[in-house]
C-alpha cells in the first residue's frame, strides 16, 4: 500500500467533497469477525460442522424455514457485543465528525459502524442487522434480551404463534430494507467520492452501487484484491491491501492520524474495561454461589469455558 498515490483523493477531501462508504465484511476481519468468501478463513469455507447442502443456505430464508438450527448456531458466534470496532470504522466516524461524510452503505450485520459512533441517519444497513428481531410468521417483534435468552436455550420461538424468530438480517430470498432504496435514490447522482472497502462485490443489488455513481466521482477501492469494475475508470484509485492500513494512510495524509489513534485507543480501552468488569462480576457471582452452598466441585470438574458461560447466563438472569 506504501506506493499508492492518494494525492487526488486527499485534495478532493480538502476541497470539501464528501465521502460515501460502501462496506463489506473485510472491514471487520481485524476485529476478529471472519468474512464470508476468503479461502480458508471465510465463514463459507468453515461451515462443514453445520452439515449444510451448500454454504449460503445458512442465510437462505427457505432453508431456514426447514431447518433454522445452523443459522442459530452461527448467530451465537456472530452476535454483536463480542467485537470492538477497527481503525477503519473509526476513520468513518472521523469523516462524520469533520462533516465530510455523505453516507455509509454497509453489507455488514455486525453493527460496528454504530458502535464506533456513526449516527443512524448516516448508516444504511443494506443487509439488516442484529439490532431487532421478528417472528417470520406473525411478524411480532421480540426484544433482543428475550431473543438472546431463548437462543441460549435452543431455538427462539414466537411467544404468540410459536413461529421461528430471527434477527432482521436480510436472508437470500428476502427484500432489502426500504431505507436502502430511498437513500440510494437520494444519493446515487450525488456521490462525489466513493470508498469501497472490504467487499468482494458479489451480492446484488449492493454490488452494483459503485458502478452506478457518476463518471466524475472519484472511486477508491480499499480491499485485498481487485473487485467489480473498479480500476476501469481513469479516476479510480486501487488501494490494494488491508483496510486498517488504508485508514492509517489516509488519516496520515489528511493530518488526522492522532485523532484516529485516540478514537481507536479509547474504543479498545472501553472494550477491554467492559471485558474486565464482566470478569470481575463473574468472580463475584462465583463467590456468592459458594456462599449459598453450591458445591465447589461443580466448578472444579467442569471445563472452564463452560463454567464461564454458565455464570454469564446467571449474570444476565440476575440483571447485574
Ligand atoms: P466477502 O467475504 O464476500 O468479501 C470480503 C472481501 O474483503 C474479500 O475481497 C476479501 O479479500 C476482502 N478482505 C478481507 N479482509 C480484508 C482486510 N482486512 N482488508 C481488506 N480487504 C479484506 O464479504 P462481502 O462482500 O461483505 O450477505 O459479502 C457480501 C454478502 O455476502 C454479505 O453481506 C453476506 C454474504 O452472503 C448476507 O448475509 C445476506
Q: CB 52: neighbour CB atoms within 10 A?
A: 18
pLDDT of residue 55: 92
Q: Using a 6 Å cutoff on CB, does residue 105 contact ligand 1?
A: no
Which residue out of 114, 127, 148, 249 is catalytically annotated?
Answer: 127
Do you find a cis peptide bond into 205, omega within 30 degrees of 0?
Answer: yes
CA dist 184 and 130 (Å) reads 22
Q: How far is the CA of 257 from the centre of ligand 1 (A)?
A: 26
Chunked into runs of 10 residues, the chain (320 residues) has average pLDDT values of 83 98 98 93 86 93 95 87 94 98 97 96 96 95 92 92 96 96 98 98 98 97 98 96 98 98 94 69 68 53 50 55
Q: How far is the CA of 43 from the centre of ligand 1 (A)?
A: 10
Please state the CATH superfamily assignment of the domain spanning residues 1-32+85-126+179-255 in this structure.
Answer: TPP-binding domain (3.40.50.1220)
CA dist 247 and 273 (Å) reads 25
Q: How far is the CA of 73 from the centre of ligand 1 (A)?
A: 20
Q: Go through the chain and tell me how many residues it has.
A: 320
Q: Using a 6 Å cutoff on CB, does residue 29 contact ligand 1?
A: yes
Q: CB 69: neighbour CB atoms within 10 A?
A: 12
CA dist 194 and 18 (Å) reads 9
CA dist 195 and 46 (Å) reads 29
- Collapse the DSSP code of 162 into the 3-class scheme (helix H, G, I; strand E, B; otherwise coil) and give the result: coil
Q: CB 85: neighbour CB atoms within 10 A?
A: 28
State how far the alpha carbon of 242 is from the alpha carbons of 41, 112, 141, 224, in Å: 15, 17, 38, 6
pLDDT of residue 320: 45
Q: Using a 6 Å cutoff on CB, does residue 42 contact ligand 1?
A: yes
Q: Using a 6 Å cutoff on CB, does residue 59 contact ligand 1?
A: yes
Give CA torsion, residues 280, 282, 283, 288, to 10 deg. Answer: 130
* Residue 134 is among the residues annotated as catalytic for this protein: no
Atom of ligand 1 minimally distant from the CA of 128: 39
Q: Are 25 and 199 in contact (CB under 8 A)?
A: yes
Q: Whose CA is nearest to atom 14 of ligand 1?
A: 26
The secondary structure of 100-148, three-state, reads CEEEEEECCCCCHHHHCCCCHHHEEECCEEEEEEEECCCCCEECHHHHH
Q: Using a 6 Å cutoff on CB, does residue 30 contact ligand 1?
A: yes
Q: Whose CA is nearest to atom 22 of ligand 1?
A: 26
CA dist 211 and 93 (Å) reads 25
Q: Using a 6 Å cutoff on CB, does residue 25 contact ligand 1?
A: yes
- Report the DSSP beta bridge partners of residue 238: 221
**Is the CATH number of domain 34-82+128-169 3.30.2010.10?**
no
Q: Using a 6 Å cutoff on CB, does residue 177 contact ligand 1?
A: no
Q: Are 6 and 239 in contact (CB under 8 A)?
A: yes
Q: C-alpha 171: how far from its chain's center?
A: 15
pLDDT of residue 81: 82
Q: Which of 23, 26, 89, 206 to probe ligand 1 with, by most ligand atoms within 8 A of CB?
A: 26
Q: Are 226 and 239 in contact (CB under 8 A)?
A: no
Atom of ligand 1 minimally distant from the CA of 126: 33
Q: What is the pTM of this model?
A: 0.86
Domain boundaries, the chain: 1-32+85-126+179-255, 34-82+128-169, 266-317
Buried-exposed string 277-291: b where 16+ CB fall within 10 A, e elsewhere = eeeebbeebbeebee
CA dist 3 and 292 (Å) reads 64
User: Is there a common fold for 1-32+85-126+179-255 and 34-82+128-169?
Assistant: no
Q: How far is the CA of 293 from the centre of ligand 1 (A)?
A: 50
Q: Which of 107, 124, 201 to probe ligand 1 with, by most ligand atoms within 8 A of CB?
A: 107
Amino acid at each position: 500500500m506504501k506506493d499508492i498515490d492518494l494525492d487526488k483523493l486527499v485534495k478532493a477531501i480538502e476541497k470539501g467533497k464528501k465521502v460515501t462508504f460502501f462496506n463489506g465484511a473485510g472491514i471487520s476481519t481485524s476485529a476478529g469477525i471472519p468474512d464470508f468468501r476468503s479461502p480458508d478463513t471465510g465463514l463459507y469455507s468453515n461451515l462443514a460442522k453445520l452439515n449444510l447442502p451448500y454454504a449460503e443456505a445458512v442465510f437462505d430464508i427457505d432453508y431456514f424455514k426447514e431447518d433454522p438450527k445452523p443459522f442459530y448456531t452461527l448467530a451465537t458466534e456472530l452476535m454483536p457485543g463480542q467485537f470492538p470496532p477497527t481503525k477503519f470504522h473509526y476513520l468513518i466516524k472521523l469523516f462524520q465528525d469533520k462533516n465530510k461524510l455523505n453516507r455509509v452503505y454497509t453489507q455488514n450485520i455486525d453493527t460496528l459502524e454504530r458502535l464506533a459512533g456513526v449516527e443512524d441517519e448516516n448508516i444504511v444497513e443494506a443487509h439488516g442487522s442484529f439490532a431487532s428481531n421478528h417472528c417470520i410468521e406473525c411478524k411480532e417483534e421480540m426484544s433482543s434480551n428475550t431473543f438472546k435468552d431463548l437462543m441460549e436455550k435452543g431455538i427462539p420461538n414466537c411467544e404468540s404463534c410459536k413461529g421461528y424468530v430471527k434477527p432482521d438480517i436480510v436472508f437470500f430470498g428476502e427484500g432489502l430494507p426500504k431505507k436502502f432504496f430511498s437513500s440510494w435514490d437520494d444519493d446515487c447522482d450525488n456521490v462525489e467520492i466513493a470508498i469501497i472497502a472490504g467487499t468482494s462485490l458479489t451480492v446484488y443489488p449492493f454490488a452494483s452501487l459503485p458502478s452506478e455513481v457518476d463518471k466524475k466521482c472519484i472511486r477508491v477501492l480499499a480491499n485485498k484484491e481487485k473487485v467489480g469494475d473498479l480500476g476501469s475508470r481513469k479516476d479510480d484509485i486501487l488501494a490494494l491491501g488491508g483496510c486498517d492500513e488504508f485508514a492509517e494512510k489516509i488519516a496520515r495524509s489528511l493530518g488526522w492520524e492522532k485523532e484516529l489513534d485516540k478514537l481507536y485507543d479509547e474504543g479498545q480501552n472501553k472494550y477491554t474495561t467492559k471485558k474486565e468488569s464482566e470478569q470481575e462480576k463473574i468472580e463475584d457471582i462465583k463467590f456468592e454461589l459458594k456462599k449459598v452452598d453450591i458445591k465447589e466441585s461443580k466448578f472444579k470438574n467442569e471445563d472452564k469455558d463452560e463454567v464461564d458461560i454458565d455464570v454469564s447466563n446467571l449474570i444476565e438472569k440476575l440483571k447485574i
